[in-house]
Amino acid sequence: MSFEEERHCDSLSGTSIGPSTRSMPPSLRPSRRKRGIGRAFFWVAGVLLSAVGFVAAKRAVPERSLPDLLRVDARTVSYSASFAEHAGIRTIEVRERSFTPVLSASGSIDFERNHVATIDANVLGTVRRVAKYEGDDVKQGEVLAEMDSASQAGREAAGSLRARKIPRGTLGVSLLRSPLAGTVIERRVITGQSVRGESVVFVVANLERLNVDVNVDEAQGNHLLVGDRVELSREAAPGILGMGSVTGMERAASAKLRVHIGVDNRTRRLRPGQTVTARIFASQLSPALLVPTRALAWVAGQPTVFIAASARTASAAAVTLGGCDGEQTEIRLGLAAGQRVVTDGVSKLKEASFL
């Protein structure tokens, strides 16, 4: 077949198409530059779609993830559910129950009044001999020291002449004896010292019986009876250092009650002058309106509770305290049975409300 026979005609344009023309591909592939522009277009479109989705999702955040809401009106605090959950707020209903309070107060250890004695020089003279020193234990009637007295010697000699008797022993020797069993805690003389008859030369005390006085609120002290058990401790020494009991009570100033405590110190772990904490276990039971001690807050120096008026509202109310056993505290004024108080989250509620 000749070249002329191979020629065809384009039916649309009437242009003849030779073999070389028909052998070309139907269309040309796009350049690399055009392909890069396409990819960039699709990447930008994807970023825009992602941004639109993020904004829509942010608008759909539930209310509970918003910042905690709290409003204060005088002493009433209104708070959101998220704040209550974050602060761990819990409430209980106040009820009246039988109560045995445990009172805690600090005082200083001292000698027991009936177990300490001062010994005077019974004559004007000179110390002949010292028999006992500080820290020595003595029995009742035991000699502490001997005194030489010229005036006493003269009286004894005159008495012997009148009685026509020969004096026995050394004239003018006076013996100083302990009036009670205990320990010499003070010695104020030495051998050869001259003393007057009214001078205190020895102090003897029974260190196994001590005393501590503490002041408690009169309202709390009304639960106490003579004989109630007492535990004594010190911050510097863990554990119970001594036991005692209430020996008496008397009114003190500013609505206080002074409680006298007799201390059993046979272990010798306590010394006069030490400051101790006394925990007094009242034996007198009485009905009382009680709240957990953790429900108490101090606002402007006053004991306060938050009374729950509703599920999301609490009002700060000043109260008057009674006794306490460590976990429960008696409320004398400011609350009524049946009311609900906040027991958990009290500190966060107080801080957030700026009360």
Confidence of residue 16 (pLDDT cuts 50, 70, 90): very low
Residues whose CB falls within 8 Å of the CB of residue 221, separated by 6 or more in sequence, listed in order = 103, 249, 257, 259
Q: What pLDDT score does 134 carry?
A: 95
Rounded (5°) CA angle 261-263-265: 170
Confidence of residue 269 (pLDDT cuts 50, 70, 90): very high
Burial label for 289, CB within 10 Å (0-12, 13-18, 19+), is buried
Q: What pLDDT score does 260 carry?
A: 96
Residues of the chain with CATH 2.40.30.170: 102-112+208-284
Distances (CA, A) of 196 to 120, 134, 148: 9, 21, 12
Three-class SS state of 345:
coil
Residues of the chain with CATH 2.40.420.20: 70-99+287-353
What is the rounded distance in angstroms from the CA atom of residue 154 to the CA atom of residue 170?
A: 12
Task: Give per-residue pLDDT as tens, 199-233.
Answer: 899 999 999 999 999 999 887 787 789 999 999 99
Strand arrangement of the beta sheet that strand 137-138 belongs to: 116-120, 200-205, 182-187, 137-138
Partners of residue 302 on adjacent β-strands: 299
What is the rounded distance in angstroms from the CA atom of residue 242 to the CA atom of residue 265?
A: 6
What is the rounded distance in angstroms from the CA atom of residue 113 to the CA atom of residue 180?
A: 12
332 neighbors 94 (Cβ within 8 angstroms)? no
What is the rounded distance in angstroms from the CA atom of residue 250 to the CA atom of residue 218?
A: 10
Structure tokens at 6: 């191979």
146 neighbors 128 (Cβ within 8 angstroms)? yes
Task: Give per-residue pLDDT as tens, 44-55.
Answer: 555 555 554 544
Task: Give per-residue pLDDT as tens, 94-142.
Answer: 988 888 888 889 999 999 988 999 999 878 888 989 999 999 999 999 9
Instruction: Concatenate the DSSP letters of all residues of 66-133 into one string.
Output: SPP-EEEETTEEEE-HHHHHHHT-EEEE-EEEEE--EEEEEEEEEE-GGGEEEEE--SSEEEEEE---
Q: How confident is the model over 164-186, as a mean pLDDT?
A: 79
CATH classification code of 102-112+208-284: 2.40.30.170
The type of residue at 46 is G
Indicate the class that CATH gives domain 117-205: mainly beta
Structure tokens at 26: 């139907």
The type of residue at 119 is I
Task: Give per-residue pLDDT as tens, 53-79.
Answer: 544 444 444 444 444 667 888 888 888
Does the pLDDT of residue 31 top 60, yes or no?
no
Three-class SS state of 136:
coil
Residues of the chain with CATH 2.40.50.100: 117-205
71 neighbors 349 (Cβ within 8 angstroms)? no
The CATH label, of 2.40.420.20, 3.40.50.1240, 3.40.50.150, 3.40.50.1820, for the domain at 70-99+287-353 is 2.40.420.20
Task: Give per-residue pLDDT as tens, 227-261.
Answer: 999 999 998 888 899 999 999 999 887 789 999 99
Rounded (5°) CA angle 340-342-348: 160
Q: What pLDDT score does 94 carry?
A: 93
